[in-house]
Structure 1
């Protein structure tokens, strides 16, 4: 860990967050912007979001305009081609702002969190937000499970939950599915009187995947009120995520290592208790060696720690301060 300030960026599918970190004081600058996944918003919008977030983080100035290291976790970076594309976008954003860096690392946003937070960069991470993916690292080898996008199926994700709820609601409306309060709840959530209006909302040009995934809290509310259909959808989502995690642990060789870190992040796992509980239960059944933990901090914490050399290289006091600052 050097004395130079470092920049950490978490560029997700719904928002981009950047923090400037001083190795002695912790976070000294913050910036936010909109969606940053090049695959979903395009290179131009992704670059604009990166530039806005980085500019906000560095608004109070960077000594000499030079950053010791830049680590960017970027959604959609799932291949060498994607990594090169992301690297070019980040470097362009820095150049546009008159900034230089000793090193620029751009990787998948989930993998950056895992590498930054897991001791020895070993363990697995399960992400369930709008989409879902699992990454596992063991002995320098990285394994990915899921994350194949909405045209395939992001199992256990907010989008998958919302789609399952919508399908259940329409089956009930058509008269061949189990009765469920999801019908009325989903209609009210989008401001329409019946499923015909709901269908119109779903297929509007301006209704995006994030909007549909945003119906997940509605499903959770209906389940909390005792609706069996909604409850089963959430339980299935948690079980699917655990099944993906167990597969990643098995393929990477982690399954034979007792007490390995199994980090969980994303709005679905962080805020939807039924999904979280089902995930923990199923994971213990399938892979008892895992030590699951739901991350309470913002994902940019992983990028910040990796920029500083990883959690084992950072003094405990600074780790504590960063956790507090990025909670």
Structure 2
């Protein structure tokens, strides 16, 4: 049997420990209900949480979930662990969703983490970075009174705006500015299949992200053809062209992978980790 459950935000760093814990508990219970589970408490739960690489935050979230009795045994792990569970070691992982981060585990157990600095300082190749650059290009066209490109039209449609003022208001009056901007990237990914300007933007961001992955490969003491690349997040999963450019750029830097594993659902990695912990 299997089931999927969804809830609100689960990042304790961005949304607070209590809200994140409540969301995780709700998602687990929704998944059990969808699976038709007869027992209210499963044998094992593995929770991959953003920020759990920080021991203090991980322990606090662990205590909150233990108190909620989500499983007979609950293990909170960093959000990169599912990516290690689904590929042959050594593994380099990269996530490009709203934000971006790369991580690597070489011969030992230590994890090298590169990027993940957030949208103000990093997030190369992320949905936020793609959306921001597309919006900047659209605003420049609107200010100059040019005939709008397909990409500018896509930005306006994504934010349900009709002019420069509406575009700015849609971003700056939003309660979730980062998410609002990142949401534009979905339109750009779709448009890139037929539009050269959008395709060039995606290519540029994929090359920037490859630089982050290359740093992780180098820091872990790996090299070309000596690791599995595990990729996830909406941008990398949703665009084969973005993935191809990333891999090509890594090869150009003499740090291409032996194989690529597309992690379409990190929860599957949590199941693999739980299976391993149960023996």
Aligned length in residues: 276
Question: For residue 108 of structure 1, what is the aligned residue in structure 2?
Answer: 78
Structure 2 residue corresponding to 1:201, chosen from 163, 166, 170: 170
- Equivalent residue in structure 2 for 1:132, among 75, 100, 105: 100
- What TM-score results when the alignment is normalised by the length of structure 1? 0.76
1:254 aligns with 2:222: yes
Query: 8 Å contact 1:116–1:305 — kept in the other structure?
Result: yes
* TM-superposed deviation, 1:206: 2.9
Whether 1:217 and 2:189 are equivalent positions in the alignment is no
Gaps of 5+ in 1: 1-26, 315-327
Deviation, 1:136, is: 0.2
Aligned positions of 1:1-327 closer than 5 A: 27-59=1-33, 60-61=36-37, 63=39, 67-94=42-69, 99-101=71-73, 104-109=74-79, 111-120=80-89, 122-138=90-106, 139-175=108-144, 180-228=149-197, 230-255=198-223, 258-295=225-262, 297-309=264-276
Contact 1:125 1:264 in 2 (8 A): yes
Q: Work out the CA distance in 2 between the residues paired with 1:56 and 1:222.
A: 35
Shift of 1:73: 0.5
Change (3 A) 1:241 1:157: same
Matched residues in 2 for 1:172 and 1:294: separation?
39
SS at match of 1:35: coil
Contact 2:126 2:235 in 1 (8 A): yes
CA distance in structure 1 between the aligned counterparts of 2:84 and 2:196, rounded to whole angstroms: 39
How many angstroms apart in 2 are the aligned matches of 1:255 and 1:176? Answer: 49
Q: Secondary structure at the match of 2:92?
A: strand
For residues 170 and 251 of structure 1, do their structure 2 counterparts lie closer, same or farther at Cα, with a shift above 3 Å needed? same
- The worse-fitting range, judged by mean Cα deviation, of 78-87 and 137-146 is 78-87
TM-score scaled by structure 2? 0.88
Query: Alpha carbons of 1:195 and 1:85: their partners in 2 closer, same or farther (altered >3 Å)?
Result: farther
Cα RMSD (Å) of the superposition?
2.6
2:5 touches 2:30 (CA, 8 Å); kept in 1? yes
Residue 7 of structure 1 is matched in structure 2 by none
Q: Deviations over 1:93-139 (max 9, x none)?
A: 32xx5x432xx321221x2112311334x211110011111110012
Does the 8 Å contact 2:91/2:104 carry over to 1? Answer: yes
CA distance in structure 1 between the aligned counterparts of 2:109 and 2:129, rounded to whole angstroms: 31
Higher relative strand content = 1
